[in-house]
Amino acid sequence: MVDKKIVEYVAQLARVKISEEEKEKLTSQLSRILDYIDKLKELDVESVSPLRGPHLEKIVLRKDQVKPFSFQKEILNNVPSQEDGFFKISKVIE
User: Could you give the percent of the chain with pLDDT greater than 70?
Assistant: 96
- Which among 33-42, 49-58, 60-69 has the top mean pLDDT? 33-42
> What's the domain range around 17?
4-41
Residues whose CB is less than 8 angstroms from the CB of residue 33 and which lie 6 or more positions away in sequence, other chains included: none
Residue 22 placed within a domain: yes
Domain for residue 18, yes or no?
yes
Q: In this structure, are residues 87 and 75 in contact, taking their beta carbons and an 8 Å threshold?
A: no
3-class secondary-structure state, position 32? helix
71-93 pLDDT, tens per residue?
888 888 888 998 888 889 988 88
Backbone CA torsion sign across 68, 74, 79, 80: positive
Q: What is the CATH number of the domain that holds 37?
A: 1.10.20
**Three-state secondary-structure class, residue 24:** helix
Quick check: is 52 in a domain?
A: no
**CA 85 and chain centroid, separation:** 38
Domain count, the chain: 1
In-domain check, residue 85: no
Tell me if 71 is assigned to some domain.
no
Instruction: List CB contacts of 31: < 8 A, sequence separation 6 or more.
Output: 1, 2
Residue 36 forms part of a structural domain:
yes
Residue 73: predicted pLDDT:
84
